[in-house]
């Protein structure tokens, strides 16, 4: 499965540590460059995302064990970050004029809770943070665009 990363996890050494793999093998975990459209990066104690704009990053290819390690690193259990599924499109989709996406064309994205990270990032609504993020992702054209 794929994970879009835009902060500390774009560094191969950090990926090697988090995924518990040998540093030379960390480069193999990267599945190319990508742009997340519909969300932009906001820097604070750790980077997070907010609605609007775009952010460049990389795609990581991980298995279930790797995803569990990433969840621990991102503090998902404690609510520091939430993990959401976002559609993935490629450049070839642009050339064909296609906009259809299936569940198989999704990747995971981590979004940090702004109050806990001390950043000014507004997510509309009054629901719990996870629900606000899920709502924005489901109602807008947020997508990860493969660049390679």
List, for residues 9-56, the tens digit of each pLDDT value.
999 999 999 999 887 777 788 999 999 999 999 998 899 999 999 999
Q: How far is Cα 50 from Cα 113, in angstroms, rounded to an integer?
A: 10
> Of the candidates 104, 128, 113, which has an alpha carbon nearest to the alpha carbon of residue 83?
113
Strands 106-112 and 2-5, sheet pairing: parallel
Domains and CATH numbers, the chain: 2-128 (3.10.490.10)
| pTM beyond 0.95, yes or no | no
* Chain mean pLDDT for the chain: 89
E strands along the chain, which residues?
2-5, 30-42, 48-61, 81-89, 106-112, 143-146
Report the pLDDT value the prediction gives residue 93, as an integer from 0 to 100: 53
């Amino acid at each position: 499965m794929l994970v879009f990363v835009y902060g500390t996890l774009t560094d191969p050494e950090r990926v090697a540590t988090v995924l518990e793999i040998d540093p030379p093998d960390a480069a193999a975990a990267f599945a190319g460059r990508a742009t997340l459209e519909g969300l932009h990066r906001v820097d604070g104690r750790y980077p997070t995302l907010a609605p609007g704009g775009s952010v460049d990053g990389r795609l990581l290819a991980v298995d279930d064990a790797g995803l569990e390690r990433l969840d621990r690193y991102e503090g998902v259990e404690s609510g520091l970050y939430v993990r959401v599924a976002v559609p993935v499109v490629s450049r070839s989709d642009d050339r064909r004029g296609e906009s259809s996406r299936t569940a198989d064309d999704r990747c995971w994205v981590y979004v940090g809770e702004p109050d806990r990270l001390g950043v000014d990032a507004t997510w509309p609504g009054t629901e719990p943070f996870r629900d606000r993020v899920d709502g924005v992702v489901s109602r807008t054209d947020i997508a990860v665009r493969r660049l390679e």
